[in-house]
Chains A and B, each alone.
Chain A
Amino acid sequence: QKEVEQNSGPLSVPEGAIASLNCTYSDRGSQSFFWYRQYSGKSPELIMSIYSNGDKEDGRFTAQLNKASQYVSLLIRDSQPSDSATYLCAVIQGSARQLTFGSGTQLTVLP
């Protein structure tokens, strides 16, 4: 079964620290990778997309992709209490057209 796995958490970091979220996927044919943020009781919000190996930066967020090792990560620099949420890794695997989601990592940023 093709899967997307995330560290289960919960993850707690102090305000101002770097939060590191990791995700691995099983299908080597995967081409598109996404990170979503979901606040409690809300719907997922797209925060990063990455399609090629390397780093992609957007403000305080950096997505990293390593297709050879089949992992994708999200770094949040200068973490803020407002970053406290569940972060979902999603992958479009092979020729599929749907997103396959990991189970999410709950992040808490402590003031």
Chain B
Amino acid sequence: KAGVTQTPRYLIKTRGQQVTLSCSPISGHRSVSWYQQTPGQGLQFLFEYFSETQRNKGNFPGRFSGRQFSNSRSEMNVSTLELGDSALYLCASSFGQGEAFFGQGTRLTVV
């Protein structure tokens, strides 16, 4: 069974640009969550989607957005990038409210 797949693995963007990250969950998992990990703040919850609906959102500015497609694949978008957005972005999929499995992450560097 394939795991959670995130693309791309690495990104370098310039301040002010926007970026879109993609996540394909484990087959059969309908819940996809996104997290930001930085050395200073640790793992922080961004948002969670289930059946194409955002069910929960963390405390991040509106520049961070996401969506989920009918096949459960999800994308997150960050607009007007800031240096502080440099982080490892992690996607996790789960079946219901059980165990969550993470993808390999996308390492975003904003310069």
Range for the number of chain B residues in contact with chain A: 20 to 34
| B98: A residues at CB distance < 8 A | 32, 49
Contact (A98, B45) CB under 8 Å given A32-B97, A44-B90, A92-B97: yes
B33, B55, B104: the one within 8 Å of A99 (CB): B33
What chain B residues lie within 8 Å of A60 (beta carbons)?
A: none
Q: In which size bucket is the chain A interface?
A: 20 to 34
Q: Are B90 and A43 in contact (CB under 8 A)?
A: yes
Contact B97 A101 (CB under 8 A): no
Whether the pair A97, B99 counts as a contact (CB closer than 8 A) is: no
B100 proximal to A (CB < 8 A): yes
CA distance A90 to B33 in the complex (A): 14
B90 and A101 contact, CB distance less than 8 A: no
Contact A98/B42 with A43-B104, A46-B100 known, Cβ cut-off 8 Å = no
In the complex, the answer to whether A104 meets B48 with C-beta atoms within 8 Å is: no
Interface of A is mostly: strand
Q: What are the interface flags for A25-44 relative to B under an 8 Å C-beta threshold, 1 for contact and 0 otherwise?
A: 00000001010100000111
Q: Is B8 engaged at the interface, CB distance under 8 Å to the other chain?
A: no
Does B105 have its Cβ within 8 Å of any Cβ on chain A? yes
- List residues of chain A with CB within 8 A of the CB of B50: 97
User: How many Å lie between the Cα of A102 and that of B44 in the bound state?
Assistant: 10
The answer, yes or no, to whether A103 is at the interface (CB within 8 Å) is yes
B59 CB to nearest A CB, Å: 10
Q: Tell whether A101 pairs with B43 under 8 Å between CB atoms, given A32-B97, A92-B97.
A: yes
Which residues of the partner chain B approach A96 to less than 8 Å between Cβ atoms? 56
Contact of A97 with B42 in the complex, beta carbons under 8 Å: no
Asked whether B103 is an interface residue with its Cβ less than 8 Å from the other chain, the reply is yes
B-to-A contact residues, CB < 8 Å? 31, 33, 35, 42-45, 48, 50, 55-56, 58, 88, 90, 92, 97-105
- Beyond the given A34-B100, A43-B90, A99-B45, please list 5 additional residue pairs across the A-B interface where CB-CB is below 8 A: A36-B102, A46-B99, A97-B33, A97-B56, A99-B100
